[in-house]
Amino acid sequence: MAKKIKDSSASTPAVAASRRRVGKGAVTASVPRTPERLEEVAQVVVANGDDAVPDAPRRRRRAVANAAAAAVGARFRRWTKAEVVEAFSRFEAADPEPRGELDHSDPFTLLVAVVLSAQATDAGVNKATRGLFAAAPTPAAMVALGEEGVARHIRTLGLYRGKAKNVVELSRLLIAEHGGQVPRDREALEALPGVGRKTANVVLNIAFGEPTIAVDTHLFRVANRTGLAPGTTPLAVELGLEKAIPDRFKLHAHHWLILHGRYVCKARLPECPRCLIADLCRWPEKTPAPA
């Protein structure tokens, strides 16, 4: 059974002051910047649920919920090896071959799609890349299309001009340095414009079958909220998961956790009644089943 965390918010001056400022059961929509503020937000969210930021934009609510989960998750009792195996056995039984939701046809189009997915939804990226990949399915075609041509296809995405510049430049570098092929090497991938550790992990996992774990906003929340691998940064969560998850589950682990966070363990209102691992999860204030 999950260990309940005592709600100490009523006796915490910082939380009491916060409630007076923004109303009982609410927190400001800004992302916590200090350990003290992080703890304050965490206590209010634990006391009132993830709906404690009702009027903020979705991305900001998610950021606050993730920060609160990171602060609280560090205090949870660690999962046992048997619990980890049980959790991933359930995910495997429910979805033996999970798949990412970005449309692509090869490593190059996957790389481009993941670069474009920063600060965007997979559905939005898929809508934008439908025309882009028809016009430029290869690095050479992408370079020929140019920044303005790429930008015309992806203008519905946030930061589209910067993304267009990165896509054209990474395509040029693939031709100049890698024979037009996407490298199967983390260092080489991260040397490309617009490619960070998360993007490299996605490409290595999906395109090349490497057992990497890409920590996005959903996976970060799940790892912290459940207590599976608490951490205050994506890298800390990634390393914690690599240590905790048995090798036999690692190839699909990040897909299971990302999809679980996207569709079940949601930032604002987690759907705990239909969660596969609710009995293992350490989060103290689970969403109750409908009456």
Which is catalytic among the residues 50, 163, 216, 266? 216
Please give the Cα distance from 153 to 168 (Å, whole number): 13
Both tokens assigned to 132? 């882009």
Q: For residue 181, give every residue at least 6 positions away whose Cβ sits within 8 Å of its Cβ, in sequence order, or none.
A: 107, 108, 174
d(CA 259, CA 265): 9
Per-residue exposure over 108-147, b if at least 16 CB sit within 10 Å of its own CB, e if not: bbbbbbbbbbbebeeebbbebbeebbeebebbeebbebeb
Q: Which two tokens stand for residue 222?
A: 């799940």
User: Does 265 count as an annotated binding residue?
Assistant: yes
Q: Is 198 a catalytic residue?
A: yes
Q: Is 289 annotated as a binding residue?
A: no
Q: For residue 236, give the H/E element and its range.
A: helix 234-244
Which one is catalytic: 24, 103, 127, 198?
198
Is 272 labelled a binding residue?
yes
- Output the six-digit token pair for 273: 């009644």
Q: How far apart are CA 37 and CA 96, in angstroms?
A: 41
User: How far apart, in whole angstroms, are the C-alpha atoms of residue 51 and residue 44?
Assistant: 10
Flag whether 281 is marked binding.
Answer: yes
Mind telling me the catalytic residues? 198, 216
Annotated binding site: 265, 272, 275, 281
Annotated binding site for [4Fe-4S] cluster: 265, 272, 275, 281
